[in-house]
């Protein structure tokens, strides 16, 4: 059942190329122009044009996918996006109306808080668009439109392939919005669509370097704390990397916007403490590098994740994990893979129960 892998989590990490291919299948046509099958989605372009705000609501890893979605949708479709964890959204009397496009993200489609948020938004007249992995789930049934992630069953408690397919779904939604709202040219859409098609193969390339990540796990295994830093969309990836490490290896980890460290958290950076620095975004690269220097000057061990060919970062990283180059909106799908592997191998070397971490359930159906 684990297909020769030691754990479901590792199997699911390695299933990502297929999961991503399946999720893209039929949604981008041959000429490179995005179709995002409107019929499947039951979303009216006129409605997408009329929306004045997007609210993305989810829990845990799905929330982190939504956080990436905010950067992508705002950048490509030029519409304001709010992101909330579902258990907060419900109780803050959210400003939602008929012009809000509500997006709920849930692997299981059964998370109680996310479902309640969906109902709350629907009750206020919003159109609800669901990104879910389970056909016929409560969230799929109650949403106005559904974009399925075709990740296949995810057994390990720690979400991996559901997350990367959710990231792809965020890109598809962003392109659909951009197309309907005329914020990108046909060439720009086609360029991103082309880059999306390369992603499954590029994830395979990252997986081929799993052995390097395994060695990094040896370096961080004795630590009780770790920091994940990044700017822009890399900050969103840092949040997911941090959660993954915490939940399965029980190492305390924090994700920080790299520029925010000096406002307090830098006090916690001591000799050899692991800092996992995400540096995939060209437009903030110099700034990220200066933040890396700040922590390096305090003796931190820098594990950097950067795009291939980045000549600057090599000077500062103690360990460099590279990912192939792609469009900036798609880098999270590649950058998270070494972080998933790092959590996995660290959990294994620390002797933790990888697939069933303590106190956690796969599907949270209580509020
Ligand atoms: C973490 C993890 C959880 C889930 C969260 C939401 O690895 O799996 O944080 O992402 O419980 O679950 P779904 O997506 O089923 O709503």
Token pair, residue 2, equals 């684990």
Angle of the 331-349 helix axis to the 186-207 helix axis, nearest 10:
20
Question: Each residue of 244-284: pLDDT tens digit?
Answer: 999 999 999 999 999 999 998 899 999 999 999 999 999 99
266 lines ligand 1 (CB under 6 A): no
Residue with tokens 């392939």: 161
Question: Each residue of 122-173: pLDDT tens digit?
Answer: 999 999 999 999 999 999 999 999 999 999 999 999 999 999 999 999 999 9
138 lines ligand 1 (CB under 6 A): no
Nearest residue (CA) to ligand 1, atom 5: 60
CA distances from 338 to 12, 26, 262, 321, 347 (A): 14, 28, 26, 7, 14
The answer to whether the complex's ipTM is over 0.85 is yes
| Nearest-angstrom CA–CA distance, 5 and 265 | 38
| Nearest-angstrom CA–CA distance, 240 and 65 | 8
Q: What are the φ/ψ torsions at residue 274 (nearest 5 degrees)?
A: -70, 130
Residue with tokens 């197309």: 179
328 lines ligand 1 (CB under 6 A): no
Ligand 1 centroid to residue 170 C-alpha, Å: 16
Say what percent of the chain tops pLDDT 70.
98
Residue with tokens 């008929």: 98
Question: Each residue of 290-317: pLDDT tens digit?
Answer: 999 999 999 999 999 999 998 899 899 9
Nearest residue (CA) to ligand 1, atom 11: 60
Q: How confident is the model at residue 1, as a pLDDT?
A: 87
CA distances from 68 to 97, 123, 241 (A): 24, 27, 13
pLDDT at 101 over 90: yes
The closest of 268, 261, 221 to 245, measured between CA atoms, is: 221
| Nearest-angstrom CA–CA distance, 343 and 259 | 24
Q: Known catalytic residues?
A: 362
Q: What is the pTM of this model?
A: 0.96
Ligand 1 centroid to residue 60 C-alpha, Å: 5
Q: What is the Cβ-side half-sphere exposure of residue 334, based on CA atoms within 13 angstroms?
A: 31
Q: What is the DSSP letter of 297?
A: T
| Nearest-angstrom CA–CA distance, 149 and 133 | 5
Ligand 1 centroid to residue 361 C-alpha, Å: 9
Nearest residue (CA) to ligand 1, atom 10: 61
pLDDT band at 34 (very low <50, low <70, confident <90, very high): low
């Amino acid at each position: 059942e684990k297909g020769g892998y030691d754990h479901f989590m590792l199997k699911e990490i390695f299933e990502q190329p297929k999961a991503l291919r399946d999720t893209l299948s039929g949604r981008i046509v041959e000429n490179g122009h995005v179709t995002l099958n409107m019929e499947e989605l039951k979303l009216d372009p006129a409605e997408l044009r009329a929306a004045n705000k997007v609210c993305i609501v989810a829990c845990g890893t799905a929330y982190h996918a939504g956080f990436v979605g905010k950067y992508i949708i705002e950048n490509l479709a030029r519409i304001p996006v709010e992101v909330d964890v579902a258990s907060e959204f419900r109780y803050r009397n959210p400003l939602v109306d008929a012009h809000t496009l509500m997006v709920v993200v849930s692997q299981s489609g059964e998370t109680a808080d996310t479902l309640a948020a969906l109902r709350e938004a629907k009750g206020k007249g919003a159109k609800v668009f669901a990104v879910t992995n389970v056909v016929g789930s409560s969230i799929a049934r109650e949403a106005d439109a559904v974009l399925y992630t075709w990740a296949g069953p995810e057994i390990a408690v720690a979400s991996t392939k559901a997350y990367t397919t959710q990231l792809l779904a965020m890109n598809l939604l962003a392109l659909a919005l951009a197309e309907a709202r005329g914020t990108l040219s046909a060439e720009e859409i086609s360029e991103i669509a082309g880059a999306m098609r390369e992603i499954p193969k590029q994830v395979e390339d990252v997986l081929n370097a799993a052995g390097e990540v395994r060695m990094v796990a040896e370096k961080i295994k004795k630590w009780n704390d770790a920091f994940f830093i990044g700017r822009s969309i890399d900050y969103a990836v840092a949040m997911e990397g941090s959660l993954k490490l915490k939940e399965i290896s029980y190492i305390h980890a924090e994700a920080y916007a790299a520029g925010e460290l000096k406002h307090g958290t830098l006090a916690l950076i001591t000799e050899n403490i692991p800092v996992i620095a995400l540096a995939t975004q060209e437009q903030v690269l110099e700034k990220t590098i200066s933040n890396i220097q700040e922590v390096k000057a305090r003796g931190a061990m820098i594990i950097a994740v950067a795009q291939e060919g980045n000549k600057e970062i090599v000077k500062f990283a103690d360990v460099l994990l590279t990912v192939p180059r792609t469009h900036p909106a798609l880098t999270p799908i590649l950058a998270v893979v070494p972080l998933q592997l790092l959590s996995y191998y660290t959990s294994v070397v620390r002797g933790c129960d990888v697939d069933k971490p303590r106190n956690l359930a796969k599907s949270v159906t209580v509020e």
